[in-house]
A and B are shown apart, each in its own frame.
Chain A
Amino acid sequence: MESSTSVPVGAPRFSSVGTTARFTLFFGTLLVSTIPYYQWFAEYTLNFLPDIRDCQLIPVPQVTECPAQVNRYNAAIESLVAGILVIAAVVGYLFHPQWYLQRTRSVPLRDSIEFNGGRSFNLSGLGAEIPGLARRAGVPQPTFWVRKKPQSEARSLGWRGSYSIVLNFGLARLHGHHPQVVRGTILHELAHLRRHDVDLTRLALAAWWAFVAMVFLPLAGQAVLQAIRRDQARSWFAVGQLWSAAVLLLVVYLALRAVIRAREFQADLHAAELDRASIIAALTFHKKRPDESAFRRLWAAIKEWRELHPSALNRVAVVNNPSLLSKSDTSDTFVAALAAGLAFSGVEVTFRRLTNDGFQSVALAALVLGFLFSAVFAAWALRTSSSPWGFRLAVAATAGLLAGQSLAWDLPTLNVSWDGIIRVSPSHGLTLVVVLLIGLCFFTRIVSALALLWVTGRPTAVRSGAILVTLVAAGAFCVLFTFWRSLHNTELSVPRLFGWAQTSLLINTPWLVPTVLISAAVFAALSGRFRREALRNSGERRALATVTIAVLALSLANFRFGGTTTVDEPPVLAIDFGVPQALDLRHVCEWLPSDYGAALGVTGDEAWVGPVLARSPDPRIAQIGDAVVQATQKGDTMGAFKAMTAIGALCIVLDPAPAHVSDSRRISHDQCLVGNWRLAEAAVTLDFSANGLGPVSLTNVGGYTATFHSDGTGTDVRTGYSLRGAFGTKNVLLTRDSDARYHWSAGHGLFLQRLSAVAESSVAVDGVTTDSRPAKPGEISWVAYECAADGLIFSGGGYVERFTRL
């Protein structure tokens, strides 16, 4: 049966519901899952980040041996392979129909079909009915083929303008006995063509196979290779990589499954609009025997998860009640959340490379993932015109997000160790979970409200509404994820949440408030046509009002109380805090964690490492330490990272098997300092430009007592202590009368101090307090020192403090 070019008539009115969210979910999952991979891949290829094994970065000419001879050509070869795979995927997509027809030895549908041995069967009745079915479906008649197989199966092939439908011989012959079954099956396939499912599904499948070939297989291969090398540290790394890769594969597969299953449901619904009895007959023709044993039933349920096609039972249920398809699905929710959790850190790191700003990178990553969430849930909300989320789905989303974060790429800079959080601080972990859960529930209500505003009084404007609601709702999710992620990063305590929220969100993100306000204005303008009475006294209206009031209240509170954010506990450092007892290469390599380069480059919090290294007796280490100091003074994060990478190369080349085991006993606490000391004299030069002054030399008024304990803790009791100076005719008083608790380390003439509790100070010019300077817990400072039996001197650029022993 050749295809005709007849114009379709009688195209059914069919509102496209159900698949937009799933397609968004699939491609969003694919995108965010692969971003971390390609981020590292691009960095290798473009030399964006130095490789720890890259010998070009070793600043010392004596090193002649390179650890792994990794060069950029390897990455280029991988790129070539990836390119070939992409071309192969495109070629496969284009030539799949031809290849399939040849492989299956399908023959064009004629009035009769011939077999070996002279047997022939009449198919004229089927051929005569097909043009009418195509007209009813509203599609140009495709080319029909027959495959000599006994199953009553059919499938669609080709691309737009060149579609084919292949009928199995078993189905074709069924027409004589059960024409309704054949009619229903063909209408289902024609619905696929009308909805362009063939193109889109093939595209999704091509993307899936490209993902497997270009992301999963190299990752798995790399992990296996590392495991074979039997390097213990790298083997554990490999296990983590494999585990992450497996999760990645599962998530993308589940998203693909959601897409294809949604397409099948839609094709059934489309066919049911034309001939409901026929599609029901086709779906119920093969009656499955109920499995007798519970184990078999369980196994069948598990296998259902593997299937890309929904079961006949589910399909009949959707045909009988299409609203089932519009309902949100727990598994889809979990997949979306898992993908977001998996990718969050990777996307964030990528943005950090581009923006070189920690908070903006978090916010941008949250925006990307917010789009994924909002697109999925806005689509559901638009169709149901109600909240797509109950508490059950919020739990699924929270669980997915946390699991995704925990299972993200097994790099300390990328994944979030939830087990570590729960072990160290269960209350903090619980707080984070509750904040996320409540936030997801709350913000999805906003999505629902936006959807309701849009669909009220306009039943057909689903597509444009989906775009608009998605864009606006993405902002809400962005706020939630930004807040939540930053909450985790800084490990805030519960009482400080409010202060942090208004400070970080409203001050540190200047673009956020205008964005929210502009979005709200645009939305209000566009949604002017909805019927206001429909919203009166509704929960959605109250939710919108609550958010508006909350934003305004936070803004007002910020102006009134802003700038007092503090936290109780310092963040965990990537590197053991302190000066190592020995600074030769072996001890330095043991002291630094194996991933310190990445940690420094990402967090930028370890600037104090430079001065430590600069005191090494080994000139190579000292040279690198100086490079770190200079880079951090200039704010050159990448320069510091490169220098730290160089020392990693040194460690690998000259000390091929460093322990890389964290051990605080290696940290030096010069026992000379242990005891009680009284400040006798202090002279400090500080810059008061922020107060409208300039550099001011200050001397002490009174003194304070410093106590250094042998376990590395210390206390300054500074009651009534202050420093006084003058800038021109203006008197400056720097009051530092709050006590300070800290951890300390001293050795090789370098003193390090890390605050454990807040140390307040304030500045007064001519008796008027102009500034308050809180020092945050975790803040690290360093200074040179000289210690004797009865005297202790701290000195650094413009800073001298002399103590006497008590």
Chain B
Amino acid sequence: MTETRTVESIARTVVEAFAPEELVYFPEFIALFADDPDSLNIHVKGRKEPVGFGLGDAIAELTPIVLAVLMTLFTDGLADAAKAGGAGAWRRIRTRLSRRRTPPIDPSTPVPIFTAAEVDATVEELSRRLVARGQSEDYARGAADMLRKLLTGM
């Protein structure tokens, strides 16, 4: 990998490989990421609006998840990203209560080198979210492995 690695390029590479049909909406997701990164955190257990259509899932599946885990890696503190389970849940609760918004991120920002623990936590999170959305273990593992390679530059 000789080109400059950015959030946008990493996400596009993963989506190209594992969900090419989602590329048509990729600019929309990048715009949302730049505007309000929190909007990409789509929880599986999210409640439906009482007077809404009620079936509205994301128009793409892999793209927002990849961008969301990268957002977590970048903005929520590298130390927090390495934490698993309860700490993550507590962080979500705290964020929800405090209504803190993640500051906008420029998707063209070059990606620095992360520690092995941070990368591990990020790819595990990606794999977990994909499985939670109903993807197969193999699919999730493949996407996670590719993300790992892109993040470590190896």
Contact = CB atoms under 8 A, between A and B. Distances in A.
Nearest to A188: B53
Contacts of B40: 150
Interface string A124-152: 00000000000000000000000011111
A289 interface: yes
A315 B54 CA distance: 11
A168 B35 CA distance: 14
Interface stretch (A280-288, A733-741, A765-773): A280-288
Nearest to B64: A150
Contacts of A309: 48, 52, 54-55
A170 B28 CA distance: 8
Chain B interface residue count: which class?
20 to 34
Given A115-B31, A117-B31, A291-B134, A152 B51 contact: no
Contacts of A185: 53, 56
Interface in B20-52: 24-25, 27-32, 34-36, 39-40, 42, 48-52
A189 B52 CA distance: 7
Interface in B42-86: 42, 48-60, 64
A152 B31 contact: no
B106 interface: yes
A282 to B, nearest CB: 7
Contacts of B64: 150
A119 B27 contact: yes
A487 to B, nearest CB: 42
B34 A151 contact: no
Contacts of A315: 55
A169 B48 contact: no
A174 B56 CA distance: 12
A153 B40 CA distance: 14
A116 B34 contact: yes
Contacts of B28: 121, 150, 169-170, 173
Contact of A192 (B36, B51, B60, B135): B51
A308 B64 CA distance: 26
A156 interface: yes
Nearest to B56: A153
Interface string B101-144: 00010100000000000000000000000000011000000000
B56 A283 contact: no
B52 A153 contact: yes
Interface string A291-321: 1000000000000000111101001000000
A532 interface: no
B59 A152 contact: yes
Nearest to A184: B53
Given A149-B39, A169-B32, A309-B48, A264 B56 contact: no
A612 interface: no
A151 B58 contact: yes
Interface in A390-433: none
Interface centre among B30, B53, B134 (most CB of A within 10 A): B53
A772 B40 CA distance: 85
A153 B49 contact: yes
A198 B51 contact: yes
A171 interface: yes
Contact of A119 (B34, B36, B50, B54): B34
A286 B51 contact: no
Contact of A117 (B29, B34, B50, B52): B34
Interface centre among B36, B52, B104 (most CB of A within 10 A): B52
A745 B118 CA distance: 83
A448 B65 CA distance: 54
Contact of A202 (B34, B51, B60): B51
Contacts of A156: 51-52
A105 interface: yes
Contacts of A150: 28-29, 32, 39-40, 42, 58-60, 64
B79 to A, nearest CB: 27
B57 A260 contact: no
A739 B151 CA distance: 99
A198 B60 CA distance: 29
A170 B53 contact: no
A174 B59 CA distance: 8
A201 interface: yes
B59 A115 contact: no
B74 to A, nearest CB: 15
B9 to A, nearest CB: 16
Interface centre among B27, B34, B39 (most CB of A within 10 A): B39
Interface string A53-94: 000000000000000000000000000000000000000000
A526 to B, nearest CB: 37
A237 B93 CA distance: 35
B32 A151 contact: no
B36 A105 contact: yes
Contacts of B34: 115-117, 119
A185 B51 CA distance: 12
A476 interface: no
A276 to B, nearest CB: 16
B32 A148 contact: yes
A151 B57 contact: yes
B35 to A, nearest CB: 4
Contacts of A170: 25, 28, 56, 58-59
A239 interface: no
Given A150-B40, A156-B51, A260-B50, A286 B104 contact: no
A177 to B, nearest CB: 7
B47 to A, nearest CB: 8
Interface in A163-203: 168-171, 173-174, 177, 185, 188-189, 192, 197-198, 201-202
B96 to A, nearest CB: 13
B57 A152 contact: yes
A678 interface: no
B97 to A, nearest CB: 14
Contact of A155 (B30, B36, B51, B134): B51
Interface in A236-289: 260, 263-264, 282-283, 285-286, 288-289
A608 B32 CA distance: 79
Contacts of B135: 289
A94 to B, nearest CB: 16
Contacts of B35: 115-117, 148
A205 interface: yes
A154 interface: yes
Given A117-B106, A119-B34, A288 B134 contact: yes
Contacts of B53: 153-155, 185, 188-189, 282
A180 B72 CA distance: 35
Contacts of A177: 24
Contacts of A307: 48
A264 B56 CA distance: 14
11 contacts: A150-B64, A152-B56, A173-B25, A174-B59, A177-B24, A185-B53, A192-B51, A197-B51, A309-B54, A310-B54, A312-B55
Given A119-B31, A308-B50, 4 more contacts: A115-B34, A150-B29, A192-B51, A309-B48
Interface of A: 105, 115-117, 119, 121, 148-157, 168-171, 173-174, 177, 185, 188-189, 192, 197-198, 201-202, 205, 260, 263-264, 282-283, 285-286, 288-289, 291, 307-310, 312, 315
The 3 A-B residue pairs whose C-beta atoms are closest, nearest first, are A153-B56, A155-B52, A309-B54
